[in-house]
């Protein structure tokens, strides 16, 4: 088995390391930062607050479990999680509050009571979302779309022929506007486009399968927070002999003729027969392979949205808030026009607040809460971020204070801000985009970079900027596809 280098200890890189080590490869992971996790890092603020830095919603937990099972370990010895119920607390701009219960029937009943919409509307929609997921996920998320063999299986041909009915010609918003009689439900389901950094007014209706992940298959909370996923998998990787080299960014992928031969860092030159890049595919080509022809069309695909996050230590508890809380703006269309057309932040953006101290009490002092407060924003294109951060901070405080009937500003005891340039610097993601390229056009799934290089033998790609896309589950699937390509 080959000596293999992985560039980046993001969740995709860690999962690839586990899989390749399980297949007997000698794996070294090079990480630019002082520790692992990438976007999935954690931070602490003075006063006793801990936060998950990036992802907060966790679905498809079996994709983590299977990494432990692959090497005969019991996942529960490393990593535990529970199904969240309720999943989300929604606060609409008109003052109505809605609880998304884990049970679909109970959620539909809540919608009927609070919004006066027949429960059957929600149940019918969720059933269709589940069918769309079942028809496509196996094909479009779990296999390389760039190998001819993929298209020879009857299962894949069936999925391809079902695509038109699943909605390639209409947008997600049009699908939801047709399915629901109440604009608040349209807004609620349109928000799922942001789960891969897209715009519901442009993204194809096919993405209406995303709600099934949360409502049908469940949202989960890992014991100790999301960072525990990275921690437990690094522990497993180290047990399997994977070497992690921190603060050692790869500066160049070395090649001879048409294959990779190793990597160069500031410290040394290393020989490797296989190299897997977990860093964003754009800087991989631009900085590590400057002499290779880059796949320009792929690299120029529009980026997904980024995020502006305020990490706040809050000197009070709010029993009406759960792990996931959404404070909706009045004008959702305006919000997405601002992000994707005007490259700015609307005056009244929707606010997402994630609080883990209710489940992990050590994340905040007694009587306090750790608020991860996030707004969707465009990726960095040289905007005046200092001004946008100040303006948006005021807008966020106005919206949450109004919804909660309490001035939140004076409760902030500790604060840290992460903006798109900061995300780009810390993770090398192009423009600080959270999910690589967006899914705002019909063929986006086919235009993501493949999990392998068509030019250089021995070069592979995993993580959120390549197939099948961003988000924890898809990064884990990219690792599985890379391992299958290498080992089969």
Residues that bind ligand FAD (CB under 6 A): 7-13, 30-33, 38-40, 54-57, 249-250, 278-279, 307, 309, 423, 427-429, 434-435, 463-464, 470-472, 475
Residue 149 beta carbon to ligand FAD: minimum distance, rounded to whole angstroms: 25
Q: Which residues of 321-351 are buried (b: 16+ CB within 10 A; e: fewer)?
A: bbbbbbbbbebbeebbebbbeeebbbebbbb
Q: Which is nearer to ligand FAD, 32 or 126 (CB)?
A: 32
Q: Which is nearer to ligand FAD, 12 or 468 (CB)?
A: 12
- Tell me which residue of 401, 226, 374 sits closest to 318, measured CA to CA: 401
Residue 90 CB contacts under 8 Å (≥ 6 apart), including other chains? 97, 98, 99, 100, 188, 325, 326, 328
Q: Which is nearer to ligand FAD, 434 or 444 (CB)?
A: 434
Q: Which is nearer to ligand FAD, 109 or 292 (CB)?
A: 292
Q: Which is nearer to ligand FAD, 7 or 108 (CB)?
A: 7
Q: Which is nearer to ligand FAD, 429 or 451 (CB)?
A: 429
Residue 103 beta carbon to ligand FAD: minimum distance, rounded to whole angstroms: 22
Sign of CA dihedral 439, 441, 442, 448: negative
Residue 249 beta carbon to ligand FAD: minimum distance, rounded to whole angstroms: 4
- The H-or-E segment that residue 308 falls in is strand 306-314
**Residue nearest to ligand FAD as judged by C-beta position:** 10
Residue 229 beta carbon to ligand FAD: minimum distance, rounded to whole angstroms: 9
How far, in Å, are 225, 226, 332 from residue 236 at the CA level? 18, 16, 43
Q: Which is nearer to ligand FAD, 180 or 195 (CB)?
A: 195
Q: Which is nearer to ligand FAD, 279 or 459 (CB)?
A: 279
Residue 19 beta carbon to ligand FAD: minimum distance, rounded to whole angstroms: 13
CB 280 within 8 A of CB 448: no
How far apart are alpha carbons 181 and 421 in whole angstroms? 40
Residue 458 beta carbon to ligand FAD: minimum distance, rounded to whole angstroms: 17
Q: Which SS3 state, helix, strand or coil, does residue 379 take? A: coil
- The H-or-E segment that residue 255 falls in is strand 250-256
How far apart are alpha carbons 439 and 426 in whole angstroms? 24
Residue 345 beta carbon to ligand FAD: minimum distance, rounded to whole angstroms: 15
How far apart are alpha carbons 448 and 295 in whole angstroms? 11
Residue 371 CB contacts under 8 Å (≥ 6 apart), including other chains? 310, 311, 312, 313, 314, 353, 354, 355
Query: Is the bond preceding 129 in cis, omega lying within 30 degrees of 0?
Result: no
Q: Which is nearer to ligand FAD, 90 or 180 (CB)?
A: 90
How far apart are alpha carbons 96 and 113 in whole angstroms? 11
CB 263 within 8 A of CB 272: yes
DSSP 450: P
Residue 418 beta carbon to ligand FAD: minimum distance, rounded to whole angstroms: 7
DSSP 278: -
Residue 356 beta carbon to ligand FAD: minimum distance, rounded to whole angstroms: 12
């Amino acid at each position: 088995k080959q000596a293999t280098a992985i560039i980046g200890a993001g969740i995709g890189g860690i999962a690839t390391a586990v899989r390749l080590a399980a297949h007997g490869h000698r794996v070294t992971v090079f990480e630019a930062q002082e520790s692992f996790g990438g976007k999935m890092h954690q931070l602490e603020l003075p006063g006793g607050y801990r936060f998950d830095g990036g992802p907060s919603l966790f679905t498809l937990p079996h994709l983590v479990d299977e990494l432990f099972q692959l090497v005969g370990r019991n996942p529960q010895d490393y990593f535990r999680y529970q199904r969240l119920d309720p999943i989300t607390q929604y606060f609409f701009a008109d003052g109505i509050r809605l609880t998304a219960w884990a049970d679909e029937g109970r959620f539909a009943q809540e919608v009927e009571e609070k919004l006066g919409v027949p429960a059957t509307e929600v149940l019918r929609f969720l059933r269709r979302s589940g069918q769309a997921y079942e028809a496509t996920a196996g094909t479009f998320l779990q296999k390389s779309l760039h190998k001819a063999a993929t298209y020879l299986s009857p299962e894949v041909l069936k999925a391809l022929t079902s695509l038109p009915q699943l909605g390639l010609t209409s947008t997600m918003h049009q699908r939801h506007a047709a399915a629901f009689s109440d604009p608040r439900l349209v807004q609620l389901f349109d928000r799922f486009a942001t789960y891969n950094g897209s715009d519901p007014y442009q993204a194809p209706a096919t993405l209406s399968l995303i709600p099934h992940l949360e409502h049908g298959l469940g949202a989960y909370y890992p014991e100790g927070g999301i960072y525990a996923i990275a921690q437990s998998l690094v522990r497993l990787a180290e047990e399997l002999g994977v070497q992690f080299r921190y603060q050692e960014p790869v500066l160049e992928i070395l090649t001879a003729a048409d294959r990779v031969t190793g990597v160069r860092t500031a410290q040394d030159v290393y020989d490797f027969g296989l190299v897997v890049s977990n860093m964003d595919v754009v800087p991989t080509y631009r900085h590590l392979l400057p002499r290779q022809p880059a796949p320009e069309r792929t690299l120029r695909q529009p980026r997904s949205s980024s995020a502006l996050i305020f990490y706040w230590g809050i000197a009070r508890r709010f029993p009406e808030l759960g792990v996931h809380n959404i404070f909706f703006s009045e004008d959702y269309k305006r919000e997405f026009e601002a992000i994707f057309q005007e490259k700015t932040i609307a005056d009244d953006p929707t606010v997402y607040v994630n609080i883990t101290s209710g489940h992990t009490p050590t994340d905040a002092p007694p009587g306090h809460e750790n608020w991860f407060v996030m707004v969707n924003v465009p990726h960095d294109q040289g905007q005046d971020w200092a001004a946008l951060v100040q303006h948006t901070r005021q807008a966020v405080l106005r919206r949450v204070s109004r919804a909660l009937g309490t001035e939140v500003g004076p409760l902030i005891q500790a604060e840290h801000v992460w903006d798109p340039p900061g995300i780009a610097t810390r993770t090398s993601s192009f423009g600080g985009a959270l999910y690589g390229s967006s899914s705002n056009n019909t063929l986006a799934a086919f235009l993501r970079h493949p999990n392998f290089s068509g030019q250089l033998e021995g070069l592979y790609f995993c993580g959120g900027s390549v197939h099948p896309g961003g988000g924890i589950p898809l990064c884990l699937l990219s690792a599985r596809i890379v391992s299958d390509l290498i080992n089969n």
